Chain A
Amino acid sequence: MAIKPLTQPSSASSAAISLSKIAVSNTHGEDSPYFAGWKAYDENPYDESSNPSGVIQMGLAENQVSFDLLEKYLEKNSSDPTSSGRVSSFRENALFQDYHGLLSFRKAMASFMEQIRGGRAKFDPERIVITAGATAANELLTFILADPGDALLVPTPYYPGFDRDLRWRTGVHIVPIHCDSSNAFEITPSALDSAYSDAESRGLRVRGVLITNPSNPLGATVKRAVLEHVLDFGALKNIHLVSDEIYSGSAFSDREFVSIAEVLEARGGRGSERCHIVYSLSKDLGLPGFRVGTIYSYNDAVVTTARRMSSFTLISSQTQQLLATMLSDEEFTAGYIETNRERLRRRYRMIVDELGRAGIECLKGNAGLFCWMNLSPFLKDETVEEELALWECILREVKLNISPGVSCHCAEPGWFRVCFANMSEQTLQVALARIHDFVERRRGNQ
């Protein structure tokens, strides 16, 4: 084919080309303080030896406390010693792009989810839909359960990423269910009713309620009675219930976490076709880089549809295979879950006790990779502006990136989420010492 010289651009083509509304919208929310703090960290990250005065990242809910357990396991069990064994499974794996996902992987995930719930709920591998992370799972469910312009009710405070994950491409609204510190931010029946009315008065059709259990950013499990009520509410309004249980394995004690799956089993499955669970290995297993998420739905139509839509977000077959082996080793997983819980509980106690000594109260938590800290006594006025000023001060002067409650849509100013599992114990001690000094200085100044 002959090489053609490029023609001269006409005046029409020199005009800038426009992108879609989605591309230019800021619904991704990455201009919020939640993400701005990350930028500050990226520019000046703390390092024990090379940058001891850098910013300590306490805004990222990542679990690094139990890596050694995984490393030990992988070392002991890393693939077939014979090269031919390795190679023969490679071929099938490389070609496997079935959106059902590897059966062995789904079986392993089902068994792992059962173990986390102490065997109090059963999971059917045929109801597991694979996605590349919980982010994708939440977005996918939103596409399936709601049309553009519809609404999901979400209790506040909530994970800042929901604004992006549930709304950006889907065109769905989040209507907050306002919770407050008067009752440890639990969802009340009246708050649920108010949220529903609020949506209606805005002309929005409510398609479901999305809860996170254990909660992010509260770091606390949702009580059984609340789950029962939300289920009843869903039945009354004939709407869906999505339970994001991504921190289920990070509850400090097995007994304290009640999954929606357990409540449904106790009810004999009544109303289960409205329920869908999101899970991922990013938090409990500390493997966010692997991009492993799942939707577990009791609704056949949702399973079928989600599976088809998961073509946009499949898990690498090689990753599935790797994890299938590990997660089906029940001895390993039982030990891991127990040890991980214990270590997280220790971390939590460490940070809460130390903060307590500095005169800072935290919400009574029992799960997750963070605590919900109350700094409202340190605000000049209980306003969002003051909260942000304090946050800025803590970021710039104390060099700690923590997440301000306003980015979680908390109705009361002064609360902050502080992550404690994404660093070594030494680094945590440094961070706590800095907080201690900061509080002393503030008290001195007052």
Chain B
Amino acid sequence: MTQTPPNDESRPTRTGMRLIVPLQGVVQGRGGILLGSLIPCALFYFLQFYLKRNRSPPPPNPPPSRSASSSDLPRSSSRPNLLSRGASMGRVQLSARANHVAKANESPYYIGLDRVREDAYDELTNPDGVIQLGLAENRLSLDLIEERLSKNLADLMSGAGGHPGLRGIATYQPFDGLLEFKMAMADFMTEAMGNEVSFDPLKMVLTSGGTPALEILSFCLADPGNAFLVPAPYYPGFDRDLKWRTGVELIPVHCRSCDNFALSITALEQAFNQARKRGQKVRGILISNPSNPVGNMLNPYDILDFARERNIHIISDEIFAGSTYGNEKFVSMAEIVDSEDAFKDRVHIVYGLSKDLCIPGFRVGVIYSFNENVLKASKKLTRFSSVSTPTQQILAPMLSDKRFIQEYINTNRQRIRSMYDLVVSGLKELGLECTESSGGLYCWVDMSKLISPYNEKGELDLWDKLLNTAKINVTPGSACHCIEPGWFRFCFTTLRVNEVPLVMERIRKVVEICKPSV
């Protein structure tokens, strides 16, 4: 039952002729019998070799694995050397997309996160460890919610406080979320986004975090090979979330420091037209607003007009909407889409509780769409990424408490602002300027004067020094597809106030090393 290898008719025939003709001559001449047996054998082996090379791996009857007699179970650990057990010829293959994913961690974004995991700074137990400034996580405001949520958990389990108890949370529930939880999320989103628009629970599909929300939308709005336009620099995770399993492409639309990294509609148009010339179908534009890594607010009207004229979708990732602290006002896509507007079918918002509510571990994300068909498809797809029911039950009462949430949002904003000011002024003292951010959990720092040469390599050298010498993990602009070298994202909401001087001290050492000589 061998697999028939792909047949390339012409080459063996040509090659065959080149052998047969002289073969005939040889056979008719001296040494005919010897050569007449050797050459067909050679030809046979040549053909075997050619066919084996062109056959798609793996061969259906592989030679027996060298590890066949091994008596140890290769299960005691996941040490890398276990991969080499057994003959590589006999090893079973993974899919091409799996192999692609297996290589994924080459980005400094992920390498940095791994380094922190291995050698995390701790004031007492590991004071020389790597300080985390590469993860947009908010640790500033957990104290505001922890008492409330841990009490909710206890009540839930014991059935106190009117909770349904185990039976109410354990059984199968709609995968796209409990209605009461959607209502609570709608309340929270309304509050977080400044009370300018009322969110409709029926336009929501809950997912296990913002990551699957983005992926599900990508699956729904584009086919493999299609593309989304994305203003760059952008969040490194987009390359994973929108592309990995969907086969969809991202086309960066570069923003520049001279514009304060604002999105230029001209650049958008150029990118769209170039894609069209290449024969690449653009299905939508993906924006993050407030933007990551820069912390800008986008003008949703411009985006809407652009998308409308080209009849493409808009995915607006508004996951930092409640974490705004600057002078610019945040305007959600939901605010400007009129319910009567036929174009609303193209507007889809991604949200979640990982950033604004400081609870990334609970895995709560939202797809909010004005398109019924997208909602229908997403509802079915979210079964692969569903929110845990007890988590919903614990959060719902708190999210619906308007007064509590209002206070929380305001206090959280103030704390982010204070930390932002502290970090930005500290960096300024070191001679490092930041863009003026209005939202997000990070600042966007210009270290271009410290890099040499003025290109990606120079930038990565600096990143390496910061990571391995200064022991701070920051994200280099190249990991965010920034076209100008030397920019870095510093997340500051994972810091305690008393850690800021230490961070500045460590950076100063590197600045001293890298400062261009006068």
Contacts and interface: CB of A to CB of B under 8 A. Distances in A.
A308 interface: yes
B363 A315 contact: yes
Given A290-B390, A305-B101, A319-B390, A127 B336 contact: no
Contacts of A300: 74, 78-80, 82-83
Contacts of A225: none
A237 B150 CA distance: 52
B311 A15 contact: yes
Contact of B361 (A62, A95, A292, A309): A95
Nearest to A274: B92
B408 interface: no
Interface in B275-304: 283, 297, 299, 301, 304
B13 interface: no
Given A291-B388, A300-B82, A19 B212 contact: no
B332 to A, nearest CB: 13
Contacts of A395: none
Contacts of A139: 384
A262 to B, nearest CB: 12
Interface stretch (B16-24, B34-42, B54-62, B475-483): B54-62
A305 B98 contact: yes
A238 B92 contact: yes
Nearest to A30: B380
10 shortest interchain CB distances as A-B pairs? A317-B361, A289-B389, A269-B73, A316-B388, A78-B157, A23-B377, A86-B150, A96-B361, A23-B220, A144-B98
Interface in A315-360: 315-319, 322
B363 A78 contact: no
Contacts of A298: 73-75
Contact of A318 (B154, B212, B241, B394): B394
Nearest to B245: A143
13 contacts: A12-B310, A13-B309, A67-B167, A79-B153, A132-B363, A132-B384, A144-B95, A268-B71, A273-B92, A291-B386, A304-B78, A316-B362, A316-B363
B318 to A, nearest CB: 16
A289 B170 contact: yes
A337 to B, nearest CB: 17
B345 interface: yes
Contacts of B105: 308
A207 interface: yes
A299 interface: yes
Contact of B1 (A197, A268, A274): A197
Interface string A1-44: 10010110110111111011111100010100000000000000
B166 A13 contact: no
A81 to B, nearest CB: 9
A147 interface: yes
Interface in B88-131: 90-98, 101-102, 104-105, 117
A28 B380 contact: yes
Given A13-B309, A20-B223, A289 B373 contact: no
Contacts of A98: 117
A124 interface: yes
A133 interface: yes
Contact of A200 (B1, B75, B167, B209): B1
Nearest to A237: B60
Given A95-B361, A169-B245, A318-B362, A87 B146 contact: yes
B365 to A, nearest CB: 10
Interface in B306-334: 308-313, 328-329, 331
B1 A124 contact: no
A97 B150 contact: no
B173 interface: yes
A309 B102 CA distance: 10
Interface stretch (A69-77, A210-218, A244-252, A365-373): A69-77
A242 interface: no
B94 A145 contact: yes
Interface in A363-401: none
A239 B94 CA distance: 10
Contacts of B80: 300
B137 interface: yes
B208 A314 contact: yes
A301 B86 CA distance: 14
A327 to B, nearest CB: 15
The interface centre, meaning the residue of A124, A274, A316 with most chain B CB atoms within 10 A of its CB, is A316
A269 B336 contact: no
A322 B152 CA distance: 13
B261 interface: no
B374 A314 contact: no
Nearest to B299: A1
Interface string B446-458: 0000000000000
Contact of B91 (A96, A264, A273): A273
B342 A288 contact: no
B363 A314 contact: yes
B341 interface: yes
Given A290-B389, A298-B74, A316-B391, A13 B384 contact: no
Nearest to B337: A6
Contacts of B61: 236
Contacts of B157: 74-75, 78-79, 322
B361 A19 contact: no
Interface in B244-276: 244-245
A86 B358 CA distance: 17
B504 interface: no
A98 B116 CA distance: 12
B374 A23 contact: yes
Given A272-B74, A273-B91, A313 B208 contact: yes
B170 A290 contact: yes
A290 B388 contact: yes
Given A75-B159, A169-B381, A291-B389, 11 more contacts: A20-B223, A135-B384, A145-B94, A200-B3, A268-B73, A286-B170, A289-B388, A298-B73, A300-B82, A301-B94, A318-B153
Contacts of A94: 142, 146, 149, 358-362
Contact of B362 (A28, A91, A200, A317): A317
A95 B359 CA distance: 6
A19 B371 CA distance: 10
Given A71-B165, A238-B58, A273-B92, A20 B212 contact: no
B86 to A, nearest CB: 7
B196 to A, nearest CB: 11
B1 A319 contact: no
B317 to A, nearest CB: 16
A303 B359 CA distance: 26
A93 B394 CA distance: 14
